[in-house]
Amino acid sequence: MRPDMQDVLANTVARCLNHLMLILLPTARRAWGRALVAEQHDITKGRERLTWAAGGILMSVNELMRTLFSDRPAWVAGLVLGIASALVDLHSSTRWPYVILLFAFGVILASWRPKWAWRWTFLLALSLPAVVLVTNNWGPYLVDRFDVFYGLVPATLGAVAGVMLRRVSRWFPHEPIGH
Amino acid sequence: MRVSSQTVAVLQALRGCGRTWSYGYDLSKVTGLKSGTLYPILMRLHDEGWLENKWEQSSEPGRPPRHLYRLTAVGSSAASRAFQTTGSKTRARRPVYET
């Protein structure tokens, strides 16, 4: 391949990586992504520009993970509530207590921490399969079926309700007590 | 804030520039850090209030504005403390040879 063709190819791939990086970056960090892209105009070699753009992807994945796993109290609360509801389900004759608990915990977690509330959905719902695998206690579930994942439905509905509740509560400004 | 050896390298580069603004690419060349390592460090330093930044409009048409960086007063004193800590750690790790 001719050197100028290599440069054209490297620049094209770098542009694609820049777009992907800006999509992946959390909104609060986009300016940093644009800063990283702006520096590429000073890099003359195509391969070096490509390496610089690839670094941007690394940065965005790093930031994405950092945002995803931020808020330790909510993660701990979600884990505890998820395990508690899973244990209730494994020792219950019907599934209604589990469904109601997951919905309620979904509402609580999502209204408490509405940012990226889908994280709590997965955490709550996947606690049951995790507990089943760790304890090897399948309770009322069949080993060859995937019905342990049905908790995703009430947890998702609860999270949606929680986010909506949070939004509705913003419409009513809280008056300070005593005024 | 956890100050790694790479963070120290960035702090040293910024400290070397004094009150002059630096570009990200120049910092990368001075420190030898790739963009994927350098920019997260710059973000953390900014979050801690150690770094200030500004955008510089380019005179060339079609060229996006560039980000410039320099240490704040807080960052400068924090950098001094970080250099002392890393210096003492390096001295502690260095083997002592009897003569």
Instruction: Check if CATH label 3.30.2290.10 holds for domain B5-91.
Output: no
Query: What is d(CA A66, CA A32) in angstroms, rounded to the nearest whole number?
Result: 15
Q: Please report residues of A whose CB lies closer than 8 A to that of B40.
A: 59, 62-63
ipTM for the assembly: 0.84
pLDDT-derived band at B11 (thresholds 50, 70, 90) equals very high
Please say if the pLDDT value at position A7 is more than 50: yes
**Beta partners for B36?**
none
Inter-chain residue contact B42 with A51, CB threshold 8 Å: no
CA distance B53 to chain A (A): 10
Q: Which two tokens stand for residue A55?
A: 């670094």
Q: What is the pLDDT of residue A177?
A: 59
Question: Does B66 reach chain A within 8 Å, measured CB to CB?
Answer: yes
CA distance B76 to chain A (A): 22
Query: What is d(CA A60, CA A36) in angstroms, rounded to the nearest whole number?
Result: 11
Q: What is the pLDDT of residue B74?
A: 94
- Candidates A156, A153, A161; CA nearest to A95 is A153
Nearest CA in chain A to B28: A52
Contacts of A13 (CB under 8 A, 6+ apart): A50, A53
B42 touches B51 (CB < 8 A): yes
Domain definitions of chain A by residue range: 3-68, 72-171
Inter-chain residue contact B35 with A62, CB threshold 8 Å: no
User: What digits encode the pLDDT tens for the residues A115-127?
Assistant: 889 999 999 999 9
Query: What is d(CA A145, CA A10) in angstroms, rounded to the nearest whole number?
Result: 48
Question: Among partner residues B23, B28, B43, which is closest to A29 by beta-carbon distance?
Answer: B43
Q: Look up the pTM and report it.
A: 0.73
Least confident residue range of A25-34, B10-19, B76-85: B76-85
Nearest CA in chain B to A29: B43
Inter-chain residue contact B24 with A54, CB threshold 8 Å: no
Q: Is the CA virtual torsion A110, A116, A118, A122 positive or negative?
A: negative
- Candidates A112, A110, A113; CA nearest to A156 is A110
Please say if the pLDDT value at position B91 is more than 80: no
**Selected residue with higher pLDDT from B92 and B17:** B17
